[in-house]
Amino acid sequence: APPHGDGRVGQGTPPGVLAPECDALDGGRQLAAAGTPTGDTGQFSDSAWNRSILPGITNHNLTTEAGGLRRNLSYGADFELVRPIVFRALQAWHDGGPEIVRSVVMLDGAPDLELHLVTLRILRASYNGTPVDSVRHISMSRTSTIEELFETVCSTLNTARDNARLWWAVPDDCLKEVDAQLDGCVLLHPRDGAPAGRAFANLGEFDLDVVTLLLEIRLESGVWPRAGRQMQLDRRRSSSFNDRKATGERGPSAAEVGPDKDSAAAAHATADPAETESTAPPSDSTDPGTSNGDDTAPAEAKAVRITTHGPFPIGAHVEAYPGDPAHCERKLHLTGPAIGIVEAIEMLNEGTYAHVRFEGPRVCMVATKHLQIVDPREDGLVGLQNLGNSCYIASALQCLSHTMLLRSYFLSGEYQYDLNMDSEWGMRGKLAVSFADVLSRLWNCYTPSIAPQSFKNTLAHFHPLFRDVRQQDANEFLNLFMAGLSDDLNRIQGKKPYVELKDSGDRCDGEVADEFWNAMVKRDHSIVTALFSGQLHSSLKCTKCGHSNVTFDSYCSIPLPLLEATERWQAVRVIIPGRPAVRIHVKATKAGTIHDLAVALVEAGKVPITGPEEVVFTEQTGRWKGMVQIAADTNVSCFPESQELIAHVVGPAVEDGVLVTAVHRRLVRLDRFFLNPWMPTIFGDPILLRLSERTTGKEAWEKVWSCVKQSVPGCEAEKPFVLTRTSSEGSVCSQCAWYEACCGCVVPDNDLPIGGIAEWDTIGIDWDREVLEKWYFPQVAGVVDEDKDSAAEVAAAEEAASQVTLETCLQTFTRAEDVVAYCPKCTKANGGEFQESPQTKRLMCWSFPPVLILQLKRFKDSHRKLDSLVRFPLRGLDLSQFQAESAKNWTSEHSASVRDTTYDCYAVVNHTGSLHGGHYFSYIAIDGSWYCFNDSQVAPIGEECIVSSKAYLIFYVRRSIVDQKKVFSDFFPRAPGATAQSVDIIRASRYQRQQSSARRPDSQERCTTM
C-alpha cells in the first residue's frame, strides 16, 4: 500500500536521485558530471511542499503563466530534482502537479541539465496574413533545430506540413539586424519558392526566452495569406522617394518631425494653425518651393496621393506646405477621408510637410508630419472587395480587366465613339460607362482594393439576377454581361434588322459561313463580337435519305462537357468473426444499390461468404457508436465516395433469425451514486450477430468469443466476460425496472435457449477487470488489414482519371451523336406530312476569336458538381484538330480567325465548394508571373498551382496577337464619321428600361446569336 504521512522525501533516498546542492544553473552541470548520461531526464518538486504537510504536490509556484520555469529559483530552497520514477511515485501517492520535466543536453560541448526552455508563443495568420487572437504556448529545448520546431508546431496544432510556414515575429530592437523582414516578421522555414529566411541552427540562437511565431496556413486557392502583404510592401518600397538626389541631402524622417511633446500640444491647444507655423522643424531646403536646396523649378503638377508615417484621424483638417512651412506663403488645405490618407491634385515636392490639426471632442492638438508622395499603381494588381456573395462578379471582371485588347479599348476612351443610346435591349450606354469606370479605377489606383458598388448597382438595373446578394454562376454572369455590353456598344442603331438565312444546300461551307457571319454583324457589331465571337460548324445528316444541312452558329464561349465515370471504387471495412477486420475496395456502379455492392463483394472472392445475404451493411450513430442497418435498396450514390462503409459477416440466414448488437462494457465504480455504485461504460466497436429464439446461451457466448478473441491475445482466463441483457444504449438492464438499479441481467452460459430476442436488441459484453488490464490492447482490437490488391487497382484507376485533358473534353464536344429531328426530304417523300427521322449531328469549330473562353461544365443537373481534374495547357494550345476540314482551305476576310489556331492561357476562373455554396476566385498571368485574385486579396502564386480541379472558365488569347503586338484597332477600327458621346451625361442619367412588346432573349439565346 502506498505510504501516508507528511509528504516529505525520506532520509533514505538512494544516492544520485537528488542533485547536489547548488544554484539553479550550476547544479545541473554537477548532476551531469556525477554520472547522469546525456538525454536523461529529471523532474522538479517544490521544496516548500517537501517540507510541509500539504496533501498534494504544488509545482504551480515554480511556473509562469506561459508554462515556463520562473527565474531566480534556487535549488534546495525553491525546488528539488528527482528522477521521473520517483516523481511518478510521489504523484501517485499524494496527487498534485504539474509535471515539470527537464533533460540533460549538450550545451557548449558538455552535458548540462537544461532548466529554462524556450517558450514558443504561436499565433495563427488569418486569411489576409494578419495574426488572430488565438495563442498557443509550447516549450522546447534550446538545442531543438528549426526542423524539429516545425514538426512540433504542425503536430501540436494538427496542421499538414506541406501547407504551413513559420514566421518569426522579430522584436523591435532586432529589426535592424534581420534581412527579408515583412512587417516585423522573418520567414523561418521557406517553402514553395518563398524567399529564403534567416538560417538558425537551433532555438538557442534566437537568444530569447519567449519567441513569438506566426503560423501561416496555405489557403484553398493555393496562395499564402502573407504573399499579398509582401506584394504590398514591395509596392511601397518601389514607389518610395527615400532615395534622395546625388547631393546626398535628405528630408527629415518621421522621428525627426514627429508629433509635438505634450507640453507643446497643450500650448497649441487653442492656437490657430496659421499662428503656429514657426513651431514646425525647419527644412533642409533654403528655397520654399523646393526640397533639395537647388534652384530648379518644381516638376509638372500631377494628381498624387499622399501618405504619412503617422495616422490622420478620420475627418482631420490637414494643411500641406509645398516646402518649408516657416517660409511658405500658401497652403494646400486638405481633408483626410480615411486614416493615414489625404489627397491633392497639385504637385508636392519631396520633403513636404503637413501641418495637421487634430480636432476631437476634448482635445485640439497641432502636430507636424512628414509626407511621402506615392504614385498610383498602374499594373492592375488591385482587388475587388466582396459586396455580399459578389465573388462571381469579381473573378470574371478581373479576367476581363486583364484582357489586353478589351482593356485598352476602354482605357483609351475609344468606347465613347461606339456608345449606343438607342439600343432596344441594352442600357443605352450606362453599363459600358460603369464598366469603363471600374477599369479606370483598377488601373489607376492608390489602394490595394476597390469597392465596385456603383457597378453592382448598375447590374441590378440591368438584370434581376443581380439585384440581391444571392449566389450566382460566374459563367451565367459573364454571358449576360457580355451580351449587355455588346448591346451598349453596338454600332447597329435602332431596331436590329431581321435577316433570313437559307439552307446550305449544295453550297460550299465557306460561302455559307460568311453568309451567317455577315448576318450576325448586321445585328450585332461591337467590340465584344470582334474579340470574343467565333463560329461553330453544325452538320445534320439524315441516316434514312442522306439529306444533310450545315449551319454556322456564333459563340462567345465554348461549353465543354466533362466525362463522368459510371463506376466508383467504394471502400468497405469488413468485420469477420475470428479475424482482424479488412479494408477492401470494391468497384460498384454509381446507380447501383447496397445489394449490388454486396454482390460485388461476394464476386471479389476476398471474404469467406457465398451470398449477399451473409453480409449486413451498417453505419454508426450516436456517441456510443450504435449501429443502424443500411437498407439493401439504398442507392450507393447517397454516400460520399470518401466515406468508408462497414460490412458485417453474420453468416447464412436462419429460420426466425434476428440481428443483435453486442457492445463492449467495463464497470466503473462511482464515488457518488444513487442506487448502484457501479456504472457500465461503453468502449470499442460494436459487433453484429445473427441469433434466433433457439440459440442457446452457450452458443451465443461462443459466437461472441469467436468475434472478440483476437482483441485479447494470450488470454488465459476461462471466462473473460459474461453476456448481459441491456437497453439499446447499453447502459441499463432491459429486463428490470429502473429502481432495481440493475446494469444488465446475465445470460446463462448453458444449453437452454436464451429466448425473448427481438430484431436489433442489444447484448452487453461485460469484461472482467483483470482481463482488460492484462490482455486487452486497443491497438490490436482496432487493427484493420489493408487489401493491397484492391488498393493497387484503386490507385491505377485514380491515375487514369487524372489523365483527363482539355483535348479529351474537346473531342467529346466534337463527337458525332445520334438524334431524331425533322427532315425536309423525308417529309417531302411522305407527301408533305411532317416527318422526323434518325439523323447524325456533329459540332466542329469553324473559326476562333482573338480571345477564346472555354467553360468546363462542372455543374451537373441541378444538385451535383463534378470535381474532375482536367489538365489544360498554359501555352501552345493547338485547336486545328477540332476544326472542320473545309475551314482549313477557305480564304476570306476572316481567314486569320480560321487559320490561326494556336493559343496561350492568361486567366482562369476557379470555383471551390459545392453547387449550393462555394466561392469564385481567379488566376491571372501578368508579365509572365501568375497572381491569385481572391476578392480584395491579390497575391503571387506558382505556375504549378494553375491547373487544378477547381478550374471553371479558362481564358486563352491568340499567340500571334502577343507576338505581333496587335492592338484592338486591328480587329475593330473606328467607324467613319463616329463622334464621342458624353459619358458625364450618361452617368448622370437615370436608366429606365424601354417598354417593348418583343420578348427579351435569355442568356443562352443571346450567347448563340452574338
- The string of pLDDT tens digits covering residues 225-270 is 877 666 665 555 444 433 333 333 333 332 333 333 333 332 232 2
Distance, in Å, from the CA atom of 223 to the CA atom of 228, rounded to the nearest integer, reads 9
Among 502-511, 685-694, 778-787, which is the least confidently predicted range? 778-787
pLDDT of residue 946: 94
> The C-alpha cell of 509 is what?
461551307
**923 pLDDT tier (thresholds 50, 70, 90):** very high
**Average of per-residue pLDDT across 343-352:** 36
Structure confidence at residue 802 (pLDDT):
62
Question: Would you state the pLDDT for residue 800?
Answer: 67
pLDDT category at 66 given cuts 50, 70, 90 is low
pLDDT attached to residue 195: 42
pLDDT value at position 164? 84
What is the mean pLDDT of the segment spanning 938-943?
A: 91
Strand pairing partners for 539?
550, 842
The dihedral sign for the CA sequence 616, 622, 624, 625? positive
Q: What type of residue is 998?
A: A
Report the distance separating Cα 376 and Cα 852, nearest Å.
Answer: 31
What average pLDDT does the structure give for the chain? 74
What would the grid cell of residue 586 be? 470494391
Portion of the chain with pLDDT greater than 90, in percent: 20
Mean pLDDT for the stretch of residues 334-353: 36
pLDDT digits (tens, 9 = 90+) for 290-302: 333 333 333 333 3
**CA end-to-end distance (rounded Å), the chain:** 92
932's enclosing H/E stretch is strand 929-934
pLDDT tier at 501 (50, 70, 90 boundaries)?
confident
Cα separation, 573 vs 66, in Å, equals 44
Residue 595 has pLDDT above 80, yes or no: yes
Those residues whose C-beta lies under 8 Å from the C-beta of residue 619, and which sit 6 or more positions away, are: 627, 628, 630, 645, 646
At 167 the pLDDT is 82
Mean pLDDT of 906-932: 92
| pTM of the predicted model as reported, rounded to 2 decimal places | 0.64
Q: Other C-beta atoms within 10 Å of 38: how many?
A: 12
Looking at per-residue pLDDT, the higher value among 6 and 611 belongs to 611
In tens, the pLDDT along 14-44 reads 333 333 333 333 333 323 323 334 445 556 5
* pLDDT greater at residue 402 or residue 220: 402
Predicted local distance difference test score (pLDDT) of residue 193: 36
Q: What is the pLDDT of residue 212?
A: 84
pLDDT at 625 over 80: no
123 within 8 A of 214, measured Cβ to Cβ: yes
Percentages (nearest 5) of helix, strand, coil residues in the chain: 25, 30, 45
Per-residue pLDDT band at 307 (split at 50, 70, 90): very low
| Half-sphere CA count of 396, side-chain side, radius 13 A | 21
For residue 312, pLDDT beyond 70: no
For residues 382-397, average pLDDT: 92
Indicate the Cα dihedral angle 467, 472, 476, 482, nearest 10°: 50
Cis peptide before 98 (omega within 30 of 0): yes
In this structure, how many other beta carbons lie within 10 angstroms of the beta carbon of residue 450?
Answer: 17
Report CA torsion sign: 703, 706, 708, 713: positive
Closest CA to 435 of 407, 451, 455, 416: 455
Distance CA 134, CA 156 (A): 14
Contact 703, 769 (CB under 8 A): no
- d(C-alpha 78, C-alpha 50), whole Å: 10
Give the pLDDT confidence score for residue 486 in this predicted structure. Answer: 92
Residue 473: pLDDT band by 50, 70, 90 thresholds? very high
Mean pLDDT on 50-56: 55
Q: For the sheet containing 567-575, what is the strand order?
A: 626-629, 615-621, 645-649, 567-575, 581-589, 784-786
Report the C-alpha dihedral over residues 498, 503, 509, 510, rounded to 10 degrees. -30
Q: Which of 307, 154, 125, 311 is nearest to 229 (CA)?
A: 125
Cα atoms found within 13 Å of the Cα of residue 819, Cβ hemisphere only = 13
Long-range contacts of 341-345 (CB under 8 A, 24+ apart): 341/305, 341/306, 341/307, 341/312, 341/446, 342/305, 342/306, 342/308, 342/312, 342/318, 343/305, 343/306, 344/303, 344/304, 344/306, 344/320, 345/301, 345/303
pLDDT at 302: 31
Quote the pLDDT of residue 674. Answer: 82
